[in-house]
Amino acid sequence: MKNLTYILVCWLTLWGGTAFAQLQKLPSVVAREIYSSALSLSAVERAALRGVAAQRVRHLKQLEKNNFAELDVVLSTYFLPDTRAANARMLVENEALKAKMVRRWVERDFYAFQQAEPLRRRAVYQAVQDLDYTSFISPSAKLIMVGENHYQQAVIDEVITLLQQLRRRYPKRPIYYASEFIYANSSTGMRVLRTSEEIEYYTAGNLFYWEASGRAFDTGVNVVGLGNPELLYSRSLSVNKTPFLESEVAWKALSPAGVRDRNSFWAEIIREIYEQDPDALVVVHAGWGHTNYTQLNALSFMLKNFKPFVINFGQFAPPAFKRYFPLPPEVLQKGKNMLRRQPRQTVRYVRFFPSKRSALVAGCDLHVELSGPKK
């Protein structure tokens, strides 16, 4: 997992053009500062604690064993922009939001630490080759959020399968595919893209998501862009040749405040869809850091009145997720047997959280992990 964070940092650095010079404190360092008093208790002082206070210290000590590395895996992306690119107001707000983000993660993890066994029992685990996503989603659902790690073809295939299944299940219902990877038209608000040429234009040279968006369009759903045009155009042009992570644009894209503002921009577009089409079923396709229940200022909470159903795809999951919701041995063995019999097929390891408490801890209502050729 640490390697994933390192690769991300390197990729963003190269994307910007040159190495960035002034990194912020990592989330693990912020956590140590926040919880320093509890971590510095002597063995005698810890032994004197009782109840929740004792549990909290045991939990923090467990996280400290790995130097709070899990926090770096989950949150480091938001701590990357160079501090020299921000003004004083942005820096003050950023420090407060970073601390809030770390506290939120630790509190959520502490709840899982306390309730690990009942949370695990409430989850449903499966290993299947064919998955009907609609069997998990209530017919009354209005909003489905698909969270992904970017540029994974296998995940795109699953998103298209989901759209196809929804289209078959609800042939007369208006279905919208709202994507982070397509620019919005800010001059006219919410805009349904009517042609493949429009989709090509509003994905602006991103061939991977142009193809994905075109495939979504071919399922017969309405395609809508969510991306802020000002932010995305600025990023693609690398204004004034400034490396991305050293630019103010990086703060608007990656910092906790920037992610919050991006999610707010997207939420307004989605609300506009419902204003224009109250019966709409909206499928949001974005990075899991935007949709996941565990994230500060997540889109799923901004639109909680629409009771979103959140799906996470892909191999990657925070370490805490696999610690509290490990796949049972019999499910893993069933998947291995399937792959042994049909090695060219994909096995889908499913974790379904019918209990909202479990879902809020896991970050999603349904998690699908793919295993198979080229997945």
- Domain range enclosing 80: 2-120
Tally of domains within the chain: 2
Quote the DSSP letter at residue 67: T
Tell which of 65, 87, 120 closes a domain.
Answer: 120
Question: Which tokens sit at 258?
Answer: 């920037």
Q: What is the distance between the alpha carbons of residues 325 and 271, in angstroms, rounded to a whole number? A: 33
Structure tokens at 325: 């919701």
How would residue 210 be classed by pLDDT, with cut points 50, 70 and 90? very high
Amino acid letter for position 8 = L
Domain co-membership, 112 together with 136: no
The verdict on 184 and 97 lying in the same domain is: no
Residues 62 and 88 in one domain: yes
**In a shared domain, residues 129 and 87:** no
Q: What rounded mean pLDDT belongs to the chain?
A: 87
> Percentages helix, strand, coil for the chain, rounded to the nearest 5?
55, 15, 30
Shared-domain flag, residues 330 and 225: yes
pTM score, two decimals? 0.89
**Which pLDDT tens digit goes with each residue over 124-176?**
999 999 999 999 999 999 999 999 988 999 999 999 999 999 999 999 999 99
**Residue 217 exposure: Cα atoms within 13 Å on the Cβ side:** 20
* Domain final residue pick, 98, 120, 142: 120
**In contact, 362 and 112? CB cutoff 8 Å:** no
339: left (phi over 0), alpha (psi -120 to 50) or beta: alpha
Regarding whether 140 and 115 lie in a shared domain, the answer is no
* Amino acid (1-letter code) at residue 262: R
Last-in-domain residue among 120, 148, 178: 120
CATH number of the domain at 212, please: 3.40.50.11550
- Give the N- to C-terminal CA distance of the chain in Å, as an integer: 17
Residue with tokens 């109840």: 51
- For residue 246, what pLDDT band results from cuts at 50, 70 and 90? confident
Residues 348 and 311 in one domain: yes
Q: Please, which pLDDT band fits residue 16 given cuts at 50, 70 and 90?
A: very low
Nearest-angstrom CA–CA distance, 265 and 187: 13
Of 2-16, 147-161, 216-230, the one with minimum mean pLDDT is 2-16
Read off the pLDDT of residues 309-357 as tens digits, 9 standing for 90 and up: 999 987 666 777 888 999 999 999 999 999 999 999 999 999 999 999 8
Q: Report how far residue 227's alpha carbon sits from residue 330's, in angstroms, rounded to the nearest whole number.
A: 42
- What's the average model confidence in pLDDT over 98-112? 93
